[in-house]
Amino acid sequence: MTVAATIRAKLAEEFSPTRLDVVDDSDRHIGHAGAKPGGETHFQVTLVSPRFAGVGRVERQRLVYRCLAAELAGPVHALSLTVLAPGEAAPG
């Protein structure tokens, strides 16, 4: 299973999202710290889940980091998060 697929599966199981986008952004970071041949080191995640209703931004991110602890300790160098409750607009 790819790193992106693992991230997607774990987040889907943990948060039952209404929207989940996992984008491998590694090709934009070639030559930067943490970049490896073959990519799968830098990701952008958009996650919309009812579980985030009434939860602050920092705590939402902590919940995601906790869920993906193994990936963040290993192959994932950078993770950009947009974490929202349903009905919230993405910051822009």
**pTM for the full model?**
0.86
Q: What is the pLDDT of residue 34?
A: 53
Helix/strand/coil for 43? strand
- 41: confidence class by pLDDT, cuts 50, 70, 90: confident
What is the C-alpha to C-alpha distance for residues 89 and 55, in angstroms, rounded to an integer? 15
Report which of 16, 17, 65, 15 is spatially closest to residue 43, judged by C-alpha positions: 65
CB 90 within 8 A of CB 54: no
Q: For the chain, give every domain's residue range.
A: 16-84
**Would you give the DSSP letter of residue 41?**
S
pLDDT tens across 8-29, in order? 999 999 999 999 999 998 766 4
User: What's the chain's average pLDDT?
Assistant: 89
Q: If you average pLDDT over residues 26-38, what whole number do you get?
A: 59
First-to-last C-alpha distance (Å) of the chain: 33
| 16-84 CATH, one of 3.30.300.90, 1.20.1330.10, 3.40.50.300, 1.20.1250.20 | 3.30.300.90
